[in-house]
Amino acid sequence: MQALAELQRFTPFKALAGDSQTLLAQGLVTKQCGSADMALHKGQPVSGAYVVLAGRLRVFSLSPNGTEATLYFIDPGETCVLALNCLFNDLLYPAWVQAETPSTIALIPGAVYRRLFEREPAIQNLTVHTLSTLVFRLMSELELVHSSHHKQRLANFILMQSASDGVLHMTQQQLAQHLGTTREVVARLLQEFVARGWVSTRRGAIAIKDLFGLRELVSPGAS
Amino acid sequence: MQALAELQRFTPFKALAGDSQTLLAQGLVTKQCGSADMALHKGQPVSGAYVVLAGRLRVFSLSPNGTEATLYFIDPGETCVLALNCLFNDLLYPAWVQAETPSTIALIPGAVYRRLFEREPAIQNLTVHTLSTLVFRLMSELELVHSSHHKQRLANFILMQSASDGVLHMTQQQLAQHLGTTREVVARLLQEFVARGWVSTRRGAIAIKDLFGLRELVSPGAS
DNA sequence: GGGCTTCAGTAGCAAAAGCTACACAGTGCG
DNA sequence: CGCACTGTGTAGCTTTTGCTACTGAAGCCC
């Protein structure tokens, strides 16, 4: 099957025993998401484990007043841990998931995943490791949120998310949404960054000019 | 052994196979913490899994500018998940842990815990479940932080942490630390709550007078 | 009771963030 | 070219939060 072959490009699924492979193949479904499609809604019951095969998903929370904030991204080969979480605890999904770019997602039904978990050490490790990673990301995010101003968070976001050429292709509106703030705040802060010669802005993108200036702002003294 | 007996009061450790019991008994260490003692420092390497036997631990993060914020609490029978997390990923501990009340902690060495994890389904489930719970708590906390003002967070904290008689025994300074803000802000907000007849304040404690008023503030319209 | 420490209540000011509003630049299209 | 649409740069104002400082009240020890 096509989907199974795709899935087996990624480590933990390569090493499964023969009958586990069959089990996996039986229930596997793939799902295509166009850019900006919602993959999962908040409050939706979770039917299985999600593994991203291609593209990129964005997990974010949406507050009553309309501001959203990105929690983290899921890249190919990674699984959506929140879904795992819900799977093992019978919870409703606690956030929103949207495709950043057109994406392909493999969906392993809950029952199948649980059986795999019982018998395959590789899946056990994958599960624990994935959960751990998420915990770590959330901790970092949480620490970041209440230990720093928007100024620092913006600098950090630019540093972390810019492509290897130091350019971040994103409108200020999107940037504001990722940080859970408004466009004006982003514009004001960027204006200051530009004045200091740290970045340059143009329509739809931001280019880093002084990496160390930004770094110094994010973690002062850590040179 | 005393410590083992203590540990076995809690579910997953009751159901272990005989040889697992022996394994567990070999490496088990207990640790006493007085009130406000630090159980774990940030950046400290983690030597094993922590299970709280008695008392209560507080996990919090500390930002460069000195403000701290409570991430969550660990009650008897629960394990410190962050420690588990570090254990499986060889990470340094990412936060601080302090005893809220005098506490007893059982420490299961890393190697022992990993072997238990491999062979005991009960421990596997415990691990996954504990991690999941933490993920959920962190998600909620993160959502709360950036979707609501201090006013709402304070109301929420009072509702969640007050004893069954509706009284929260805590100074305003401590309250401010839990929320990652300052005493003045807490005092100002409480003043407003008092004016609306929602709570009454006295030295070292806050008493809830109008549960529904507070609830309405936390989640408007949810009656 | 007197003196000390801790906690609570207030005030005033400065910084940060959010909201509304508008002018202008860039892009695409007929 | 003119037009519409989207993204950016500003401005002014309000609310929230943070910081400094002082006063008074509650509890504790001698």
Q: Cβ B88–A121 below 8 Å, yes or no?
A: no
Question: How many Å does it take to go from CA A18 to C1' C9?
Answer: 71
The mean pLDDT of chain A is 84
Mean pLDDT over A29-35 rounds to 84
Distance CA(A141)–CA(B138), nearest Å, equals 10
A3-29: per-residue pLDDT in tens? 777 777 887 787 777 788 888 888 888
- Which nt sits closest to A179, CA to C1'? C17
The shortest CB-CB distance from A138 to any of B69, B118, B135 is to B135
**Residues from chain B contacting residue A70 (CB–CB below 8 Å):** none
A97-112: per-residue pLDDT in tens? 888 888 898 888 888 8
The answer, yes or no, to whether residue A185 has pLDDT greater than 70, is yes
- CATH architecture, range B2-145: Sandwich (2.60)
pLDDT at position B189 is 92
Q: Which of A10-24, A182-196, B62-76, B109-123 has the highest mean pLDDT?
A: A182-196
Distance CA(B135)–CA(B81), nearest Å, equals 10
Measured from the Cβ of residue A36, the count of other Cβ atoms closer than 10 Å reads 11
Mean pLDDT over B161-173 rounds to 88
The CATH 1.10.10.10 domain(s) of chain B lie at: 148-218
Q: Nearest chain B Cα to A177, which residue?
A: B146
Distance CA(A215)–CA(A198), nearest Å, equals 10
pLDDT at position B222 is 63
B96-126: per-residue pLDDT in tens? 888 888 889 888 888 888 888 888 888 888 8
> Strand D neighbours with CB under 7 A?
A 171-173, 183-184, 187-188, 190-191, 194, 201, 203-205; B 65, 67, 149-151, 180-182, 184-185, 188-189, 202-203
Mean pLDDT over B70-85 rounds to 82
CA distances from A138 to A142, A211, B82, B104 (A): 6, 25, 12, 28
**Residues from chain B contacting residue A84 (CB–CB below 8 Å):** 132
A148-218 CATH: 1.10.10.10
Nearest to A151 by CA among A194, A116, A188: A188
Pairing of strands A48-62, B205-208: unpaired
pLDDT at position A1 is 57
CA distances from B149 to A35, B144, B152, B153, B174 (A): 32, 9, 5, 6, 18
Q: Cβ A63–B148 below 8 Å, yes or no?
A: yes
**Residues from chain A contacting residue B134 (CB–CB below 8 Å):** 135
Mean pLDDT over A125-153 rounds to 83
The CATH 2.60.120.10 domain(s) of chain A lie at: 2-145
Q: Nearest chain A Cα to B147, which residue?
A: A63
pLDDT at position A207 is 92
The answer, yes or no, to whether residue B223 has pLDDT greater than 70, is no
The shortest CB-CB distance from B131 to any of A63, A135, A180 is to A135
The answer, yes or no, to whether residue A186 has pLDDT greater than 90, is yes
Q: What DSSP string runs through B109-178?
A: EHHHHHHHHHH-HHHHHHHHHHHHHHHHHHHHHHHHHHHS-HHHHHHHHHHHHS-TTSEEE--HHHHHHH
Question: How many Å does it take to go from CA A204 to C1' D4?
Answer: 19
DSSP state of A46: P
Distance CA(A181)–CA(B114), nearest Å, equals 43
pLDDT at position A33 is 84
Mean pLDDT over A77-97 rounds to 79
Q: Among A7-11, A199-203, B183-187, where is mean pLDDT lowest?
A: A7-11
Q: Cβ B148–A91 below 8 Å, yes or no?
A: no
The residue ranking higher by pLDDT, B64 or A118, is: A118
The mean pLDDT of chain B is 83
Q: What DSSP string runs through A55-78?
A: EEEEEEEE-TTS-EEEEEEE-TT-
Q: Among A51-65, A77-91, B23-37, where is mean pLDDT lowest?
A: A77-91
CA distances from B174 to A158, A170, B179, B187 (A): 35, 41, 9, 12
Which strand C bases fall within 7 angstroms of a protein CB? 6-12, 16-21, 26-27
